Amino acid sequence: MGDRTTLVEKLLDGYRSKAHELLMDYLRNEKIRTETEQYIGQNEPSSKRVEEAFEQQHKPSRNLPRRSDLSLQQGRIRKDIPDARNGLYTPSNSAGSVKSEASSLASAGLERIYLISCDEIEDQPVTSRSEPVKHCLIGDRVVNNRSLAANKIIVDERVNVPLRSGGQKSEKATTAVSLTWRRRKEFTTNVDTFYIVSALLLGCDVILSSDPTLNRRFPSEVEEVQSPQERYDRRGFVDIEEVDPASSQYPPAVPLHSYPQNSLPPNMQRTYDITQAFRSSQRMRSGEPSAPVLHPTRIEHGLSNHAPTPYAAQEPSSGLLHLAGLWDKTPIKISFDPEALGETFFQAFSQWAVKRKRDGDLDRQRMTLWLKASKNMPDDEAYELSLKEGELEDLWEDAVKWIQENRGPKAPHLYAIVELEAG
């Protein structure tokens, strides 16, 4: 049919599914995949210079050039055309080119962020846009193409999708994914729940939920003068704690993430110094008192690296609670926000089950948690909390009332025993 460039043109013009299949096979090579991710992270999509050079090289001509002229022409174009051996255009690595790319994204209202991979591959760059909406959103294509589908959870939520033409569209989200991500030039990370919607609605890879009262400023272009709590105001998706916070040592002004770093892959051995701050910001409500109060002694009330962080005044009973216990012989250690929904508590429990490889035994319709104020509380005084779908949410308010009245003063605040009904 012709040489490789002709085949490439035909595949891209009319056989995109086959091109996708070939690229998936091609990107199995770890080195090629890494180079491709670096290229995408440093360059804008659809570079006109490359496309025009490509079209000029292969455009049919009635008067074919002489071999010597053709060689010169190909030599000039070869500087801009992807190398046939690795399929990559090698961009300039100068600081100016990277800054120009970031400026172009910022002028379009976009920002490049990086999804933290849970294996040995590099962080995955995606384009994002901050919008004054309640939920973080992610396109379904990104979830499927970046192998994120394994982390999906089932939800039933109405989300507002910001439209590129203005306004918002209400969509029903049935799945979501919890992701750890970071900004360019930053190695501190954020943990958020992204609700999966059609990629055709977004105009970028992900939508970041932001506080509509703040000006949108991207740390890739300007010094970050606002703390994460000031930029984002989200409802809490609870993270799993594998280390007892009572025994952890944290600097008072820069809280560290409470995962034991030696349990993470090598490329995840990083400083997670604002994750706790994000979780505390997720609990803030617009209707709460606005008087700023600093709580430097609370783990989840850490300070920003750049500026002091104002917090809404809270009752002593508010904040993350830490639950310990046993499921058969498996120790339970999770944290949750009692102010969040009951389903949020279950998602924290299910994530812990996956991490401890107990997800195969996870059947919420047959599961009951017996909550105690401490390990020594008599069994007949324990609180019965059913995890059944629907029932958990209906009874969650009463459960929270019992929890707040019986919780211990120090972590772990509660003790739980899992009971699984015979199936």
The pair of structure tokens assigned to 131 is 């919008």
The reply to whether 287 falls in a domain is: no
Residue 96 has what pLDDT?
A: 53
Domain boundary among 91, 122, 154: 91
Q: Which of 282, 312, 332 delimits the end of a domain?
A: 282
pLDDT score at 124: 83
| CA–CA gap between residue 134 and residue 173 (Å, rounded) | 13
The label of the residue with tokens 């804008």 reads: 44
Per the CB < 8 A criterion, the answer to whether 197 and 159 are in contact is yes
Expressed as residue numbers, the domain containing 9 is 4-91
Q: What pLDDT sits at residue 194?
A: 94
Distance CA 68, CA 146 (A): 45
**86-92 contact pairs (CB < 8 A, 24+):** 86/32, 86/35, 87/26, 87/32, 87/36, 88/32, 88/35, 88/36, 88/39, 89/39, 89/43, 89/47, 89/50, 90/39, 91/39, 91/42, 91/43
The reply to whether 250 and 163 lie within a common domain is yes
Does residue 382 share a domain with residue 253?
Answer: no
The answer to whether residue 266 sits within a structural domain is yes
**CA-based nearest residue to 197, from 131, 275, 284, 291:** 131
List the chain pLDDT tens, one digit each, 423 residues.
457 778 887 788 778 778 877 888 888 787 887 788 777 766 766 544 445 545 555 454 444 444 444 444 444 444 444 443 343 333 444 555 555 566 667 777 788 888 886 655 677 889 998 888 899 999 999 888 888 877 789 999 999 998 877 788 899 999 999 988 888 877 788 889 999 999 888 888 999 988 554 333 333 333 333 334 343 444 444 444 444 444 444 444 444 444 444 444 444 444 344 444 444 444 444 444 444 444 444 344 444 444 444 433 333 344 789 999 999 889 999 998 998 998 899 989 989 988 888 888 888 999 999 999 998 999 999 999 999 988 998 999 999 999 999 998 888 889 999 998 886
Longest dimension (CA), the chain: 94
State the pTM of this model: 0.32
Q: Do 98 and 221 contact (CB within 8 A), yes or no?
A: no
The answer to whether position 151 is within a domain reads: yes
Q: Are 139 and 199 in contact (CB under 8 A)?
A: yes
pLDDT of residue 173: 93
Rounded to whole angstroms, the Cα distance separating 210 from 232 reads 5
Give the CATH number, domain containing residue 391.
3.10.20.90
